[in-house]
Structure 1
Amino acid sequence: MSSTSLSSISADLSRIRLEIRSLQPQVVLWRRSLHQHPELGFREEMTARFIAQKLQEWGIPHQTEVAQTGVVATLEGNRPGRVLAIRADMDALPIHEENDVPYKSQHDGKMHACGHDGHVAIALGTAFYLAQHRDFAGTVKLIFQPAEEGPGGAKPMIEAGVLKNPDVDAIVGLHLWNNLPLGTVGVRTGALMAAVETFHCTIFGKGGHGAIPQQTIDSIVVAAQVVNALQTIVARNLDPIESAVVTVGTFQAGTACNVIADTAHLSGTVRYFNSNYAGYFGRRIEQIIAGVCQSHGAHYELTYQSLYPPVINDGAIADLVRSVAETVIESPLGVVPNCQTMGGEDMSFFLQEIPGCYFFLGSANAEKGLDFPHHHPRFNFDETALGMGVEMFVRCVEQFCR
């Protein structure tokens, strides 16, 4: 990032109201405390207690143990109006942290390597501010969600009724995003993030001596042809205007250089934006595997799982978030309109139920070395983004609940 960009970002801080700028140091402390105590999906007991304790201190009504470890807080404005939900995921990843910082993870092999500690801190900052400033119409629900990284906590929370009682009219959420520099917001109507599907396949051949292949059915040869054939799905079966990915991520077979393996194991992931392709990739992958195996006399077992649908933003709520972003951030970088990623997010389940918008809040600062990618053992972000996130959420409430 250039010095010009950094100076413009400093100017942007004046756009964050004084009360939230004063709250910034406390939000940073909350984030760092959470960062030191990362917990995996559906095991976020300490995190949930931390959240509940703060809500209790501030007199904010809340429920705990929603979908195991989730927390839901409810804030009412000073007059009737619509209901807006704010979602923050709170789980960490099974990664050993390599950052040398005072607030480094104290849980070996676990790390907040995707910014969820920041998401929780931003939502807490929003809750604190709104509890002190009730001059808005309607109701705000803050949904602290477990297990976004897996196996997925959004759907269980919906099934537990978090969008009811009172019924939620719309939902917003953000992701701190090291793929964008500090001082930017990525927001768009329609598909923002991809559907996530996975497959696991075992090819069964007939093993034997590496020097006598005519007595065998070589599972490695079969599996290799499957890998190559799967690449034709995107290249030759999809409309070239559409975007999709079929990736084989693992391939395991064989025990010795002179032994033809009788089994080979493959696994991979599928990503796409267009909801019309739901179900298509699973069928097409099985057709290809079945055809290749049949041609060689092999057989197979395939497990295919659809995890998350694509994240599809509602046009009206995306417009609201975009207008808010334009008031919070005014820099040469500004609002990024067509930011998309093949990464997945179970925020998609909320967006299937009600209108909403999920957006990216730029958090990278290369000059400070805070630009490692998500899920990297040295992932960290510029904490200036935390105050920006609180301001974004508060203004969304003020614009929607009026």
Structure 2
Amino acid sequence: MGFTKIKLPARGFNTDLTKKLGLLFIIAGMLSLHPAFSRSLDLSLDSGLHVWSDEKLGLNSLHLGGNATLRLVGTSLEAPQGLNIRVSDNALLELIDSNITLREGGGIQIGDNAALLLTRSTIHSQGDSPPGGIGAASTSSLYLNSSQVGFIRLAGAASLQAFQSQIGELASRSTGPAASYGCQISHLRLFYESSEVAINDTTNGFLEDFNQSQTVVGAPNPFQVQLVNTTLLQSPSIVLLQGTLHTSNTSLTSITLVDSALRAVNTNATSLYLTGYSWAELQNTTATRLTAYLGDFNLILQNTRHDEVYIDETLGLNLKAVGVDTGLLRLGWTYPDTPQNVELINSSINELHLWMYSPQPIQLQGVHLGNLTL
């Protein structure tokens, strides 16, 4: 038998005989079906279950709710394709020295004051499937200690505390706190809405803390992502909606602005993407690929470097580039009868691509131009 021991904590019993009998029937069904164990498990009504096992278990569905507790110790759980493990309504799922293998389309979802605790445990995917991971929302809590997770996505007011763990990707748009101590994170992706964000002195992607400076009127509560003695294998990525981003002495993988503003000094970014009513002021900055697409843009570039600058589908454009070095500048289609102005001063452009409806006028002064394509 795969179960060497099953315990019911005191929390699982109360004076309601129906609840006790219901839980016992669930356990009896699990035992009778073992070792396949490929059935549904639904715990609720203040029930509790502890499982110790040396073998692999399989489930078609797993849902914890209503103050239920499920604790897996030394257990390997294999989930079929597309299975989402749900933990909600003040429930608790705890893994100790255990692992969960997820297949394509599967994941763990926690919310509504639920909690997930991982100690020396692993959540991963099988074969070539996308990395397995956790989605936390509402006011849920996630705790990791010496564990490994493919990805973590935080939303609502979900919170995270991670110690000495490995995380493939950490993405947060939560207003709750997130903290990492002595962890390794492959990629950090942060989403901000209606906020003013400052990122300073985080060169090379290694940083001790990552702070949102303040919020604008009507914005969500400010939140903080703290990274203490944490290694980032890639620089962070930032997505900002209707806000302002300040960066200096910083390395970022990507910056995405939607109806937002950017002031960047001494910043390195692989990708900078603007859309909507956005503007960017860059100084002594490298944005390998700068894209402004489908919007009204104000771009002030001073002593910047690019492989490619691509501007298209504009509702209005003001571009002033001074001391810019770029391999390619593409000025695409602009809507007629919209404000347009392009100034290129003391810059080096290897290739300039213009179209019939490119913005006009285009003013050049002291520009070194390699090739012009019309």
> Fold conserved (TM > 0.5)?
no
Computing the radius of gyration from Cα coordinates, the structure with the larger value is: 2
User: Which is richer in strand?
Assistant: 2
Q: TM-score, normalised by structure 2?
A: 0.22
> Of Structure 1 and Structure 2, which has the larger fraction of its residues in helix?
1
Give TM-score, length-normalised by structure 1.
Answer: 0.21
The structure whose RCO (Cα within 8 Å, separation 6+) is larger is: 1
